Amino acid sequence: MHTQVAIIGAGPAGLTLARMLHLQGISSIVLESREREYIETRTRAGVLEQPTVALVRDLGVSDRLDREGMSHNGFYLRFDRTTHHLDFHRLIGGHATVYAQQELVKDLVADRLSSGGPLHFDATVTAIENTSDRARLTVDHAGTPLEITADFVAGCDGFHGVSRAHIPGELLREHSRTYPVAWLGILARTAPTTPEGMYCAHENGLSVHSMRGPNITRQYLQVPVDTDLDDWSDEQIWDELAVRSASDDQPELERGEIFDRSLAPLRSYVCETMQHGRLFLLGDAAHIVPPTGAKGLNLAVSDASTLSFALGAFYAAGDRSHLDNYSATCLPRIWKAQQFSWTLTTTLHALSDDPTDWQLRRARLGRWAESEAEQSALGEVYLGLPFPTPWRFTG
């Protein structure tokens, strides 16, 4: 089996790339190690930046996103029992959209299958051979060995995938930072706490209050990284969410049935370079941001857009320069998102018992609450910096 581009992983990076290549007349095969149902129900991200939404519209797969996505002007910030609304729309224009990652994945899978594009589930790539004239992938497809050759390989296989290990160690510079905390996330049947998402900074730690619809909330608690999910009863989760979000200006948090819970440790990671020979890394395969600020999915889509443009230039005009510059083109935007996520993470979480740290964090929160200049600067990155290139090569 031969294809122009072999795509490893059917997450946001792999599926958006497959759609962009299809629209540019470039063939691809998507290989996903899990079953369809698993990737369509995995609870993860929820906040889409403006450039991500614009791209999904441009790709013609936004019908449900346009109907069901919740458009937000900014977010709420609560500390010292007081609520502040950061209205980025009023200050700089634009919106963020709340739409669950697995819903976007469902839309992209349905589109891929209905347009006849190859997408194989239960297909695990175990090795990539990167030679001068082609790449060769070894695949375990439901227990049957399969070999695929491709002009290029897009490693969209997430942080624990196989692709990154195929960049030679001597070329790889890894930037890694772990945090002593994780997010305990829940989905619950109850109305959203605030009309838009809210970050609450409390001396016990962060709580985040988001939503997935008029009667479903998504909420997170900062917990120690070695927490066992079973250590928390539903009542303890609600009690702690209530303590951290308590205010003097808004009603108390509503409680409801918790029907999903998960734990996600916080990590920052970037690998430089993001390419070697015919292999390109995208999304979580190349970088991880802590969830504070909601950048991960959006970075994955941004990388896909950059690679789509570069492949378009190669196939339409024989111009390899954009492929050669892929990593250098992606990295500045990735680092800006890293910086944003790190600033939000270190300001909103309680990461030490030192009272001086808390005063410094409060001072920064105070500036975010009182200064429109600070809010505009935050809003520019939160709503989404422009993607490095268009997704389509037009000559």
> Applying CB under 6 A, which residues contact ligand PHB?
45-47, 197, 208, 210, 218, 291-294
Give the residue carrying structure tokens 């944003």.
Answer: 340
Binding residue count for ligand RFL, defined by CB under 6 A? 36
* Among residues 47, 186, 270, 313, the one that binds ligand RFL under rule CB under 6 A: 47
| Shortest Å, Cβ 341 to ligand PHB | 9
Please count the other Cβ atoms lying within 10 Å of the Cβ belonging to residue 285: 28
Residue 12 binding partner per list ligand RFL, ligand PHB, none, with a CB distance cut-off of 5 to 8 Å that depends on partner kind:
ligand RFL
List CB contacts of 368: < 8 A, sequence separation 6 or more: 77, 84, 86, 347, 374, 375, 378
Active site members:
72, 199, 291, 295, 382
177: contact with ligand RFL by CB under 6 A: no
32: contact with ligand RFL by CB under 6 A: yes
Give the residue carrying structure tokens 């594009």.
Answer: 117
CA-nearest of 348, 363, 339, 383 to 90 is 383
124: contact with ligand RFL by CB under 6 A: yes
264 close to 185: Cβ distance less than 8 angstroms: yes
Give the residue carrying structure tokens 């449900």.
Answer: 64
Give the residue carrying structure tokens 């695949």.
Answer: 139
Q: How far is CA 177 from the centre of its chain?
A: 18
| Shortest Å, Cβ 260 to ligand RFL | 11
Residue 207 binding partner per list ligand PHB, ligand RFL, none, with a CB distance cut-off of 5 to 8 Å that depends on partner kind:
none
CA-nearest of 200, 242, 150 to 365 is 200
- Rounded to a whole number of angstroms, the CA Rg of the chain reads 21
Residue 31 binding partner per list ligand RFL, ligand PHB, none, with a CB distance cut-off of 5 to 8 Å that depends on partner kind:
ligand RFL
Query: Of residues 232-291, which lie at the interface with ligand RFL (CB under 6 A)?
Result: 264, 283-284, 291
The CA distance from 129 to 140, in Å, is 15
Nearer to ligand RFL, 65 or 355 (CB): 65
381: contact with ligand RFL by CB under 6 A: no
**Tokens found for residue 20:** 């962009």
List CB contacts of 129: < 8 A, sequence separation 6 or more: 135, 136, 137, 138
Nearer to ligand PHB, 217 or 389 (CB): 217
* Among residues 107, 111, 151, 157, the one that binds ligand RFL under rule CB under 6 A: 157
| Shortest Å, Cβ 247 to ligand RFL | 23
The CA distance from 141 to 122, in Å, is 6
Q: Give the interface segment with ligand RFL, choosing from 60-68, 295-303, 346-354, 377-385 (CB under 6 A).
A: 295-303
107: contact with ligand RFL by CB under 6 A: no
* Among residues 3, 7, 12, 198, the one that binds ligand RFL under rule CB under 6 A: 12
| Shortest Å, Cβ 46 to ligand PHB | 3
Please count the other Cβ atoms lying within 10 Å of the Cβ belonging to residue 367: 12
| Shortest Å, Cβ 359 to ligand RFL | 29
Nearer to ligand RFL, 247 or 262 (CB): 262
Nearer to ligand PHB, 11 or 46 (CB): 46
Residue 39 binding partner per list ligand PHB, ligand RFL, none, with a CB distance cut-off of 5 to 8 Å that depends on partner kind:
ligand RFL
Amino acid at 264: A
Nearer to ligand RFL, 165 or 360 (CB): 165
List CB contacts of 74: < 8 A, sequence separation 6 or more: 85, 86, 87, 88, 89, 96, 196, 375, 379, 382
| Shortest Å, Cβ 390 to ligand PHB | 27
Query: Of residues 304-363, which lie at the interface with ligand RFL (CB under 6 A)?
Result: none
**Ordered strands of the 70-72 beta sheet:** 47-48, 96-98, 70-72
CA-nearest of 123, 147, 144 to 135 is 147
Q: Give the interface segment with ligand RFL, choosing from 12-20, 187-195, 356-364, 365-373 (CB under 6 A).
A: 12-20
**Tokens found for residue 319:** 């111009």
Nearer to ligand RFL, 253 or 288 (CB): 288
Residue 346: strand, helix, or coil: helix
Phi-psi region of 205 (alpha: psi -120 to 50; beta: other; left: phi over 0): left
Name the site residues for ligand RFL (rule: CB under 6 A).
8-14, 31-34, 39, 44-47, 101, 124-125, 156-158, 161-162, 183, 185, 264, 283-284, 291, 294-298, 300
